[in-house]
Amino acid sequence: MPLSDPRIKNAKPRAKQYKLADGRGLFLLVVPTGGKYWRYKYPFEGRERQLSLGVYPDVGIKLARERHQAARTQVSSGIDPKAERVAKKAAESDTFEVVAEEWKALQLAGTKPIKPKTVAKIEWIFRDYLFPAIGKRPVANVTTPDIYTMVKNVEATGKIETTHRVMQYCKQVFAHAKRTGRVKLNPTHDLEGVLASNEPKHHPGITDPAKVGELLLAIDGYQGQPATIAALKLCAHVFVRPGELRAAEWSEFDLERAQWRLSDQRMKMDEQHIVPLSRQAVAILRELQALTGTGRYVFQNYVHIDRPMSENTVSAALRRLGYPKEEHTWHGFRTTASTRLNEMGYDSDFIELQLSHKPKDKTRDAYNRALRLAARTKMMQEWSDELDALKATARNRRQSQAA
């Protein structure tokens, strides 16, 4: 006789567990502690098996029968519902996020140490892009179209380099999943060539000598925070990357020797970089030292002095001076210096070395770094003198026009 709610409610626990049958293998198991559990007993491939269908009263008789019918349908189709449930739980536990965390742990435990800035970049890519899109999905269920949609959404924001990193780390996580038996195929393999080219970004910079002089005059007249003015002036003289300048620390400078030594941890090329400082650069830094010299950062954040200047500060100052990003950028000071120094006849090796560009010839690079610091020091002083001359010419031109 099929079970009813009153009969189930009135079923009392006994010294030993017992069953109340509902029919076709479905029964309620009543245990001595008073618990009541739905079970489905079924034969599969010559063996008797049992499948848990829930606990009464959370799972009432109606829902238990629905689950029972679904399981019976699987059995009639040649599917073992218990084995299917175990496989599903295993797949759900192997989410992309779980596998990714395994992969990240392996990277950190590798023989080659990973720098903190690289670790931070990896964490950022996973936190902001990969995990929100596919992190909670079983890794075996993530498809090539899923990944295609994800990377194209990132690409649509214009962050091309970031898009390539998203694809790179995604590919490596799935390679780990394949090695550990979670997936049979790496779904990123069919996505070669679908992303926009990650060519080096062109940073507009003024290169006409007369216009360079006008830019320097404009900077001299800028009304703003002292640290911003100093950063604007120093950009032109040292032409390092914006991130390297804004995060400069006083501990990196030896003003007596007129050198700025950036550690490999701070450099894009992962190698120590020495910036010879001209007299003009040292003068700018000494003036600023009176204001920020007791802190860590040369260019302190206005609100949080324990942090460096915002990456937008100098860019915003250039806009206020009337230089749109299409004409000149913070990074554009490197373009200015590179173009003009080449036009002035300096050895391209010195210029590339001072720009901290990665050379193709490593032997030649080692020779340059070991033996040519004096030559670069001379070049940097002459570059600052050239900037002063261009500014003086621009000033004289203005005065002549005014007269």
- Distance between first and last Cα of the chain: 113
By CB atoms closer than 10 A (0-12, 13-18, 19+), residue 161 is: exposed
Q: Answer yes or no: 178 catalytic.
A: no
Dihedral over alpha carbons 157, 161, 167, 169 (to 10 degrees): -120
Give dist(CA 71, CA 79) in Å, integer: 9
Give dist(CA 137, CA 149) in Å, integer: 15
Residue in 176, 241, 340, 391 annotated catalytic: 241
Residue in 357, 369, 395, 397 annotated catalytic: 357
Give dist(CA 369, CA 375) in Å, integer: 11
Q: Answer yes or no: 334 catalytic.
A: yes
Q: Answer yes or no: 357 catalytic.
A: yes
Residue in 268, 320, 364, 398 annotated catalytic: 268
Residue among 219, 204, 225 at smallest CA distance from 387: 219
Give dist(CA 230, CA 227) in Å, integer: 5
Q: Answer yes or no: 268 catalytic.
A: yes
Return the axis-axis angle of helices 373-402 and 226-238, rounded to nearest 10°: 120
Q: Answer yes or no: 237 catalytic.
A: no
Strand 47-56 to 36-44 pairing = antiparallel
Tokens linked to 343 = 């036009």
Q: Answer yes or no: 222 catalytic.
A: no
Q: Which residues are catalytic?
A: 241, 268, 331, 334, 357, 367
